[in-house]
Structure 1
Amino acid sequence: MNTNKRFDQYPLRDELLSALRRKGFEHPMPVQVSMLEDPTLVDGDLIVQAKTGSGKTLAFALPLLNRMEFGERSPKVLVLSPTRELALQTAREFQWLGYDLRIRVASLVGGMDMERQVKALREGAAVVVGTPGRVLDHIRRGTFRADLVESLVLDEGDHMLDLGFKDELEDIMAAMTQVERSWLFSATMPEEVVTLAKQYLDAPRKISLVEDAAKHDDIVQRAYIIPARRRFEGLANVLLFERPRRGIVFCATKLQTQELAERLCDEGFKASALHGDMTQRERNMALENLRRGRSQILVATDVAARGLDISGVSHVIQFGLPGCLETFIHRSGRTGRAGQEGRNLILLTAREAGEFRGMIRGTSLEVEWLPAPDAEELESLTRAEIERWCLENPAEGEDYMDWAEEILQREDAQLIVAGLLSRSFEGIPKGYSIQEDVQAEMARSRRADRPKARDQRPLRKLVSGSVTMRFSSGREDGWEVGPLLGALCRGLGIRREDVGNIKLKDRCAFVELSPYAASQIERRRDNLAREGLDGFSRSEPRQNHGTQRPRTPSRNRY
């Protein structure tokens, strides 16, 4: 969302303001305002937490270029990015922004010609943007003078650690002996990022524009239930129903990405794949096809979940359960960018739906849950659109109206109209009949979630010296035993073996914890609250564990 402030209200150089005007940028976004309003931020280390798509590239590029010498020819700024796509896009931003300042930019990424990169460095690149592996390669070859760098930006720091770049980051930082400021930009702040910041940043100032990383006011969140054995059919129906103008489908593996893109093409969709096994030229072509409208759908792995800056992405479709909440958030950030509304759709089986509910518990996400549309629903939608199109685009001239009137007076009028409608439907995908499969799986899932009779309910082995805790959330709050167990393990940092019997009630839950797990309760109170477990107390142990009292027969047996 744009602010009421203008770029020309800030002490930016004329060359930068001219570049912004050429791009049509008048109003800074909130993260840019935060960086521009306080000129002292440029004097030291900084941590900025902002949502994906919030305009953070300009947020760090503007203050860094604003203080750079005109025509600088030695490397003063290094921006490290987790992926090639993000690095190349960031480099393009610096190029147009620093053009009037005669600032050259070098892109150091894998999969591209090394000699061209060496040439760009020798010609005097003042800004270097790259991925950790290739940047470290240039440092070791002696083609990049990291000791001359004054400003370091770690862009998408959380994702760089996710991809295993910790060692490369440490080696690069060790080579930067003259760095004056290190800035860390990240959408989320997991423990690994906090540890990195403590180790390498010196008393950093912090800016956070994220109250709840999962919530994004410009994104509509929708979950579709699809049949487990007909997942592709469910995806096809959702695409036909949602009709994305420009969409990205995220998959778990490279093989699935390629196969899914090919099958979508066979079904009549304009789809292309994007994954790590493709050459850089193939990847660039896939992105360009989506930007220019030659492709309607990009099927991608998580290598593309960060850094893609494709305007006008109307839909993100997450095909299956993401590995964690952070992955879900970063995927969804490809839409709803720069104040535009988007839709984030997640396609889940009935079994996966329960796991996903547990994953987002404790966030403020508002998700609309729907069964995947059926062929009948899609046909009704297509009929309505054809009728609407006819009414909004009436035939020109009286000849067609007279002909229509003549046909309607004939005995075979119904056959003629039916033939015309049949021709109208030619080539339009009709979708798949999946309603019965979805309903059957949802019913099975509900039956599996019901509590079993006491004599059939499996009990976990009691933990020696266990402590019983009472949590003030239960079935009425949406909890089930499996998600509750997972939330406890994540929140307390324990193994499943540290959790004993779980007795889930409508409004509370009693959980046996090992002495170690119980000792973590107070220390990890905030972690539990983030998992949705913010109310708990110690439950007094029952007496007479060794003797069972006779059970009174209940009239309400099920």
Structure 2
Amino acid sequence: MPFSSLPRPVAEAITERGYTAPTPVQAAVITEEAIGRDLLVSAQTGSGKTVAYGLAIADTLLGGSDTLPRAGEPLALVIAPTRELALQVQRELQWLYAKLGARVASCVGGMNVRVEQRNLSYGCHIVVGTPGRLKDHLERGNLQPGSLRAVVLDEADEMLDLGFREDLEEILDLTPPERRTLLFSATMPKPIALLAKRYQRDALRIQTTSERESHADIDYRAMAVAPADIQNAVVNVLRFHEAKGAMVFCATRENVRRLSATLTERGFSAVTLSGELSQNERNHALQALRDRRARVCIATDVAARGIDLPGLELVIHAELPINPETLQHRSGRTGRAGKKGTCVLIAPYQRRRHAERLLRAANVNATWESVPSPDAIYARDQERLVASLEVGEIAEEDLIVARKLLETTSAEDIAAAFVRTQRQSLPAPEDLIDASPAAPGQRPEREQGPRPGFEDTVWFRMNVGRNANADPRWLLPLLCRRGHITKRDIGAIRILPGETRFEVPRGIAAKFADAVRRTAGEDDGVIIEPAGDGPPPAERPRLSRAPGDRPQGDRPQGERRGPPRGPHRGPPRRRPS
């Protein structure tokens, strides 16, 4: 029996639950070396840490006996960063200790304080809670820490990130000094090491996976896009993968609301998680994901901490995480417990270098690729449709309808109608701005003659040029937004030192000029005005240049002028008058 070293009731419960063998972290905490000692454990998110520390404290709770004492003051305290994680831990420990008759109480923010107070007064063996609520019950005298034999800090790094250091220190200072202290964390930054040094005695350090192995179940991909195309990129990534469950991360509540509105409008079944939601709203959103009534969750970092959603196959970083630890925590929502997952990092063009540094710091090898195109998405749809067709047992009434259809319609038309019906239920993919820079060492070929539709054009000028880091990657979205046109309506772009000139077809020039006049109040500091019918004059060679340097002439759209001088900061801001 793989769990033979555990107390018999606990071993029976975990075997009945379907565990055939312990995970690496579970096996490490029940070894003879770990029994009775403080533990400092770092393991991959989703590796079974909750059951692991439940197994680790079993002997401590029993105290050498075969049964638990009568419920009174708690024997163990588990501290978790979020309500969802604390309630999830409570459910796990309830079935793990069910055969011992353990009472597990929860104390979390957003729940009824009086109910929690009553449960504590009835007596319990284990208390699971969030730092703020536990501190409140300690100060009110509802929670008596004098009998605690073990304290567990779950996701300790997240609690420090959320600013709970003072609450944790106050709680730990009130617990008996002879208690066991178990710290479990996905990452082990310096603040965790300092906390362990202060509150643990001769702790056993357990690290079940290396940094490389911790990402083995996650396929990392990165995509560079124009800033105006981030939402469209999210749409296409979701459509390409069609995951049973997906989570999209944003940096702020406002961006969560904006992206949620975009995805819902396009036909995705999506829910949101942000700090402004009530506990009841959060529970409904999570239940919708578990029931498959919703397939996409848009969340902020804080709101998604500690959430375990089974079957989550895809994580999208719609906005770059602030540090490597946040990247790991976000990505750890997928690829859990040995299951495979995909993580997609979407980076604006000007922040690609920052994204690469972030991935290196997290020791993640990501494949840089283009955002899936509509053609690639339709091809993947076709593959999924063919693979999903299963002709099983067919009822007689269905055969009757099928024969009648074949009498009036060909089999090919019936199949085409079926395919059309299937596609109608899927959101349409988006066309993205194709403003990606040329590959290193290559220069885009100049077009021979004008593009179709640009035989008769009008030139316009902008008051930003090469000296202001003008670049088609942000100029194109700006022109489309200000002029109420699409990228197909913009012809050649000539970026000069002090200005940029571009052409539009004469047929829409008046409409474009009127739109840029009406949007001139936008706070982007960019002035757009007509520049005449002819192309801009060729730029004169610079007088002071190093020997061997060639003059800088007109450049076609998208051509780069050598290595970039640094990340682009966007269009110049208008100075206050």
Once the two structures are superposed, the pairs formed by residues 123-134 of structure 1 within 5 Å of their partners are 123-134=122-133
- 1: CA distance between counterparts of 2:104 and 2:390? 54
Q: Which residue of 1 aligns with 2:43?
A: 50
Q: Which residue of 1 aligns with 2:314?
A: 315
1:28 aligns with 2:22: yes
How far 1:91 moved relative to its partner? 1.1
Q: Which residue of 2 aligns with 1:332?
A: 331
Matched position secondary structure for 1:42: coil
One-letter amino acid of the counterpart of residue 430, structure 1: A
One-letter amino acid of the counterpart of residue 356, structure 2: R
Which of 2, 17, 36 aligns to 1:7? It is: 2
One-letter amino acid of the counterpart of residue 173, structure 1: L
Matched position secondary structure for 1:306: coil
Q: Deviations over 1:409-459 (max 9, x none)?
A: xxxx9999877765554343221111xx1x314449999xxxxxxxx999x
How far 1:25 moved relative to its partner? 1.4
8 Å contact from structure 1 (residues 44, 180) kept in 2: no
8 Å contact from structure 1 (residues 108, 131) kept in 2: yes
Distance 1:256 1:362, change over 3 A: closer
Distance 1:81 1:213, change over 3 A: farther
Q: Deviations over 1:436-494 (max 9, x none)?
A: x1x314449999xxxxxxxx999xxxxxxxxxxxxxxxxxxxxxxxxxxxxxxxxxxxx
- 2: CA distance between counterparts of 1:51 and 1:389? 33
Q: Which residue of 2 aligns with 1:484?
A: none
Which of 418, 436, 440 aligns to 2:435? It is: 440
How far 1:109 moved relative to its partner? 0.7
Q: Deviations over 1:183-227 (max 9, x none)?
A: 111111111111112222223221112321684111111123333
Matched position secondary structure for 1:273: strand
- 2: CA distance between counterparts of 1:299 and 1:334? 13
Q: Which residue of 2 aligns with 1:68?
A: 61
8 Å contact from structure 1 (residues 262, 271) kept in 2: no
- 2: CA distance between counterparts of 1:27 and 1:327? 31
How far 1:97 moved relative to its partner? 0.9
Q: Which residue of 2 aligns with 1:288?
A: 287
- Aligned length in residues: 446
- 2: CA distance between counterparts of 1:394 and 1:442? 54
- 1: CA distance between counterparts of 2:82 and 2:163? 12
8 Å contact from structure 1 (residues 213, 329) kept in 2: no
- 2: CA distance between counterparts of 1:414 and 1:259? 42
How far 1:145 moved relative to its partner? 0.7
8 Å contact from structure 1 (residues 16, 66) kept in 2: no
Greater percentage in helix: 1
- 2: CA distance between counterparts of 1:98 and 1:314? 31
Q: Which residue of 2 aligns with 1:303?
A: 302
1:429 aligns with 2:427: yes
Q: Which residue of 2 aligns with 1:530?
A: none
Larger Rg: 2
- 2: CA distance between counterparts of 1:119 and 1:151? 23
How far 1:348 moved relative to its partner? 1.8
1:241 aligns with 2:243: no
One-letter amino acid of the counterpart of residue 29, structure 1: T
Return 5+ residue gaps in structure 2 as ranges.
443-465, 469-544, 552-561, 563-577
- 2: CA distance between counterparts of 1:299 and 1:28? 33
Which of 14, 18, 39 aligns to 2:12? It is: 18
- 1: CA distance between counterparts of 2:264 and 2:315? 18
Distance 1:393 1:375, change over 3 A: farther
8 Å contact from structure 2 (residues 61, 149) kept in 1: no
8 Å contact from structure 1 (residues 215, 365) kept in 2: no
One-letter amino acid of the counterpart of residue 331, structure 2: S
One-letter amino acid of the counterpart of residue 315, structure 1: L
Once structures 1 and 2 are overlaid, which stretch shifts more, 324-333 or 311-320? 311-320
8 Å contact from structure 2 (residues 328, 362) kept in 1: no
- 2: CA distance between counterparts of 1:186 and 1:43? 19
Distance 1:385 1:312, change over 3 A: closer
- 1: CA distance between counterparts of 2:172 and 2:413? 77
- 1: CA distance between counterparts of 2:7 and 2:304? 34
Matched position secondary structure for 1:26: coil
Distance 1:387 1:89, change over 3 A: closer
- 2: CA distance between counterparts of 1:308 and 1:179? 32
Distance 1:403 1:305, change over 3 A: closer
Distance 1:389 1:315, change over 3 A: closer
- 1: CA distance between counterparts of 2:174 and 2:36? 21
- What is the TM-score when the length of structure 2 is the normalising length? 0.70
- 2: CA distance between counterparts of 1:204 and 1:253? 38
Distance 1:424 1:95, change over 3 A: closer
- 2: CA distance between counterparts of 1:414 and 1:33? 58
Which of 13, 31, 40 aligns to 1:37? It is: 31
How far 1:174 moved relative to its partner? 1.4
How far 1:402 moved relative to its partner? 10
How far 1:136 moved relative to its partner? 0.6
One-letter amino acid of the counterpart of residue 369, structure 1: W
Once the two structures are superposed, the pairs formed by residues 317-466 of structure 1 within 5 Å of their partners are 317-361=316-360, 364-386=363-385, 422-423=420-421, 425-434=423-432, 437=433, 439-443=434-438
How far 1:29 moved relative to its partner? 0.2
Once structures 1 and 2 are overlaid, which stretch shifts more, 218-227 or 44-53? 218-227
Q: Which residue of 2 aligns with 1:141?
A: 140
Q: Which residue of 2 aligns with 1:224?
A: 223
How far 1:42 moved relative to its partner? 3.4
One-letter amino acid of the counterpart of residue 11, structure 2: L
8 Å contact from structure 1 (residues 274, 298) kept in 2: yes
How far 1:342 moved relative to its partner? 1.1
1:195 aligns with 2:194: yes
One-letter amino acid of the counterpart of residue 440, structure 1: A
Distance 1:203 1:389, change over 3 A: closer
Q: Which residue of 1 aligns with 2:540?
A: none
One-letter amino acid of the counterpart of residue 137, structure 1: D
One-letter amino acid of the counterpart of residue 57, structure 1: T
Q: Which residue of 2 aligns with 1:117?
A: 116
One-letter amino acid of the counterpart of residue 27, structure 2: V
- 2: CA distance between counterparts of 1:95 and 1:11? 20
- 2: CA distance between counterparts of 1:283 and 1:420? 37
Distance 1:315 1:423, change over 3 A: closer
8 Å contact from structure 1 (residues 254, 301) kept in 2: yes
One-letter amino acid of the counterpart of residue 55, structure 1: G
One-letter amino acid of the counterpart of residue 433, structure 1: D
How far 1:328 moved relative to its partner? 0.5
Q: Deviations over 1:533-554 (max 9, x none)?
A: xxxxxxxxxxxxxxxxxx9944
One-letter amino acid of the counterpart of residue 9, structure 2: E
Aligned-pair identity (%): 34
Matched position secondary structure for 1:68: helix
- 2: CA distance between counterparts of 1:261 and 1:15? 46
- 2: CA distance between counterparts of 1:446 and 1:135? 60
Once structures 1 and 2 are overlaid, which stretch shifts more, 258-267 or 76-85? 258-267
Distance 1:321 1:214, change over 3 A: farther
- 2: CA distance between counterparts of 1:402 and 1:56? 59
Return 5+ residue gaps in structure 1 as ranges.
1-5, 448-455, 459-550
- 1: CA distance between counterparts of 2:258 and 2:549? 56
Q: Deviations over 1:26-78 (max 9, x none)?
A: 2100001011122x423232211111111111111113123424243221111
Q: Which residue of 2 aligns with 1:522?
A: none
